Amino acid sequence: MLKTDNNIAQTGIRILFVLQLLMKSPVSKAQIIEKINADPNLKSVTPDTITLDINTLKAAGFDIKSGNKGNNYCYELKLNPIKIKLTKNELRAISIAKKAMFYFMDFRYIVSIYQTFEKISKLIESKEHAEEILNFGNFLKTDFNLLKELDVHCKHKNEIVISYNSPSKSLRQMCVRCLDIKYSKKNDKLYLWCDCKEYGGIVYLRADKIKKIIKIAKVNTDINLPENICVYSILRAQNAPLEIEDYEKIIKITPDYVQIRARYLNEFNFIQRLLSFGENLIYVSDKKLVEKLKDIIKNVREMYT
């Protein structure tokens, strides 16, 4: 009896294994046998056994197109009768998990999870629910294949020439040294951090605006980027949490103000950061930055007077 039960279990596991292969892509009988033989948990099978497994799936309601010369004798799954119903609470849990994922996970895992959700969505009964779990916001505007290429260039610090859709909506070529890809929580977008001689230092380019990589200029480049250090103080806002950037550290807190040390690479972005505090900014240690801030404020006032 035990032997019979084991045979039934083995058959069931094997049929589910075959179904999993069919859900990924069209597959031939020879490919199915090869995959089964390579799995240590499954026993070797014959072509006749695969035919029986396919017929079992068809009898269960799966619409499987038999192979022919036109498709290299591959079986193709046309209809999957298995459907998943999601409750409101389950959909809400998925939505909360996605939000947390964007805040705490690396973009590489987010891409992997989205691709998994794509497979799951095909089994969801409600079209609206399927669209909801696949809603990854601005993240989907980026070409995942291009993102993988950029990631490789960042790992090797390669210098590449890209076609970039600039704010003026005109395509332009830029030569950049790839440093990192980061997700911005503020605007729900991915950015390529890179060193660009044309702009005199570090720039952040929106990944979805990069249309293609034209060529690789240099590989494994050595980058020695000068780090700038500045201490600044801002008035404490009542009942408002202070959000600091990754490159900043709070070094002093008093009842009246907060003092922060910043180690930054991009001066333009850091100046924008300081300007965002408005009249709450009360001290900046770098005198050159102070003069630049004064000039910017003066120019803005002249524009509106």
pLDDT tens digits, one per residue of 59-75:
888 889 887 777 778 99
H or E element at residue 266: none
**Mean pLDDT lowest for which of 96-110, 227-241, 245-259?**
96-110
Reported as a pLDDT band with limits 50, 70 and 90, residue 2 is very low
What one-character-per-residue DSSP string does 290-305 give?
A: HHHHHHHHHHHHHHT-
Give the residue from 152, 232, 246, 164 showing the smallest Cα distance to 203.
164
pLDDT digits (tens, 9 = 90+) for 294-304: 988 887 777 66
Name the CATH code of domain 228-303 (choices 1.20.144, 3.30.70, 3.30.499, 3.30.980).
3.30.70
Which has the higher per-residue pLDDT, 265 or 263?
263
Q: What is the mean pLDDT of residues 14-21?
A: 87
Q: What is the mean pLDDT of residues 236-257?
A: 85
Q: Are 11 and 49 in contact (CB under 8 A)?
A: no
Q: What local confidence, expressed as pLDDT, does residue 5 receive?
A: 47
Reported as a pLDDT band with limits 50, 70 and 90, residue 3 is very low
Write phi, then psi, for 160 (nearest 5 degrees): -130, 160
Q: What is the mean pLDDT of residues 141-152?
A: 90
Reported as a pLDDT band with limits 50, 70 and 90, residue 182 is confident
Reported as a pLDDT band with limits 50, 70 and 90, residue 34 is very high
2-79 has CATH 3.40.50.300 classification: no
Q: What local confidence, expressed as pLDDT, does residue 4 receive?
A: 47
Whether 222 shows a pLDDT value over 70: the answer reads: no
Whether 255 shows a pLDDT value over 70: the answer reads: yes
Name the residue type at position 195: D
Q: pTM for this structure?
A: 0.55
Looking at the structure, give the CATH architecture of the domain made up of residues 144-218.
Answer: Roll (2.30)
DSSP-derived secondary structure letter, 281: E
pLDDT digits (tens, 9 = 90+) for 131-140: 988 888 888 8
Reported as a pLDDT band with limits 50, 70 and 90, residue 7 is low
Q: What local confidence, expressed as pLDDT, does residue 214 receive?
A: 94
Show me where the domains of the chain are located: 2-79, 88-135, 144-218, 228-303
Quote the tokens at residue 87: 């409750």
Side-chain half-sphere CA neighbours of 7 within 13 A: 5
Reported as a pLDDT band with limits 50, 70 and 90, residue 9 is low
Q: What local confidence, expressed as pLDDT, does residue 1 receive?
A: 39
